[in-house]
Amino acid sequence: MLLNRTLYIDADACPVTREALACARRARVPVVIVGNTTQNLERHIRRDDPRDAGHARGCDATHGGFWVDVLDVSIGADSADFAIVERLQPGDVVVTQDIGLASMVLGRGAAAIGIGVRGRVYTKATIDMDLFIRHEEKKVRRAGGRTRGPAAFTDDDRERFTRNLNELLRRDFEPK
């Protein structure tokens, strides 16, 4: 049995918002796009996309159906992250490039899929190492050193992200 779940998109600098919405439409999963007020998050939404559960597309007994909403948060470090975490339910899915947010998501019994790691699904088994690497890179930068930035997002990255997100949205969710 599939859980009712919501897909949250941490939309600050998210290169795959369009792909994530397409996956949610196919899986009939509601979406909340979260970002700061300086962005035009509405641009990602189609005119015919339902905007609330009452008008959801694809409603049935096991799915609430697809609809999409936008949650504007204030400008500030981690505003979107905290807005997502406080709304999460076990079984929800979060698209993010923030490893710290991914860690909080896993701690709440939800799933996280990374953008910065090219569509890899974060797991409890690897999140500590991801956080450690982030911390070490931050130390290097604070000491005046340089770390390699992410490579440009490729078509292969988009395909991998889409494939992994489709799988996350369709499978029974068992937190690991």
Residue-level pLDDT at 168: 92
Question: Residue-wise pLDDT tens for the chain (176 aa)?
Answer: 345 789 999 987 788 999 999 999 999 999 999 998 777 788 878 888 878 777 676 655 444 688 899 998 988 778 899 999 999 999 999 999 888 899 999 999 999 998 866 788 998 888 878 777 766 777 877 888 887 766 777 889 899 999 999 999 987 654 44
Residue-level pLDDT at 118: 76
DSSP output for 101-161: HHHHHHHTT-EEEETTTTSPBP-TTTHHHHHHHHHHHHHHHHTT---PPPPPPPHHHHHHH
Identify whether the C-beta of residue 131 lies closer than 8 Å to the C-beta of residue 100: yes
State if pTM tops 0.85. Answer: no
Q: Which of 84, 163, 85 is nearest to 121 (CA)?
A: 163
In three-state secondary structure terms, 89 is coil
Interhelix angle 17-27/155-170, rounded to 10 degrees, is 30
Buried b / exposed e along 81-93 (16+ C-beta atoms within 10 A):
bebbbeebeebbb
Residue-level pLDDT at 139: 80
Residue-level pLDDT at 25: 92
